């Protein structure tokens, strides 16, 4: 798929997609006319990268994490600095809190809709 379609499907600007590619976070091949051609899994990759960036993870760290994120097979265990491990653990705890809050909000909305009388 071309960059415009990937941008549309992910909600990420073409400029940001080019930046992700420059950083090695997503890759494409080139068509004979020079246009970028992204594989279907790029949609999930871009969404995952965007989510990690929104969680406060720097792109350099995301790049190091990609082999572990992309593979379902056993990957060689990375060696990381203690400070980075602590930062990632903090980010993970923050994400878990947000997930809990979102789940409670979803449940509250569901309960409200279940009890509501809907009019036309």
62 burial level (CB within 10 Å; 0-12, 13-18, 19+): buried
Alpha-carbon distance of 65 to 31, in angstroms, equals 29
Alpha-carbon distance of 88 to 57, in angstroms, equals 8
pLDDT digits (tens, 9 = 90+) for 89-101: 998 999 899 999 9
Q: Assess whether 71 and 89 both reside in one domain.
A: no
CA dihedral of residues 60, 64, 65, 66 (deg, nearest 10): 100
8 A C-beta contact, residue 56 and residue 89: no
Number of domains in the chain: 2
- The whole-number pLDDT of residue 74 equals 63
Overall pTM surpassing 0.85 (yes/no): no
Output the domain CATH number for residue 42: 1.10.1660.10
pLDDT digits (tens, 9 = 90+) for 5-55: 999 999 999 999 999 999 999 999 999 998 999 999 999 999 999 999 998
- The whole-number pLDDT of residue 73 equals 64
8 A C-beta contact, residue 29 and residue 37: yes
Q: Assess whether 51 and 28 both reside in one domain.
A: yes
Q: Assess whether 71 and 45 both reside in one domain.
A: yes
């Amino acid at each position: 798929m071309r960059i415009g379609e990937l941008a549309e499907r992910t909600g990420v600007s073409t400029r940001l997609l080019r930046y992700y590619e420059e950083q090695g976070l997503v890759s494409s091949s080139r068509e004979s006319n020079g246009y970028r051609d992204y594989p279907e899994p790029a949609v999930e990759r871009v969404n995952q990268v965007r989510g990690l960036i929104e969680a406060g993870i720097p792109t350099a760290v995301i790049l190091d994490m990609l082999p572990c994120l992309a593979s379902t097979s056993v990957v060689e265990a990375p060696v990381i600095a203690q400070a980075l491990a602590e930062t990632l653990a903090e980010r993970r705890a923050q994400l878990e809190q947000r997930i809990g809050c979102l789940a409670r909000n979803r449940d509250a909305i569901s309960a409200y809709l279940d009890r509501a009388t809907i009019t036309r």
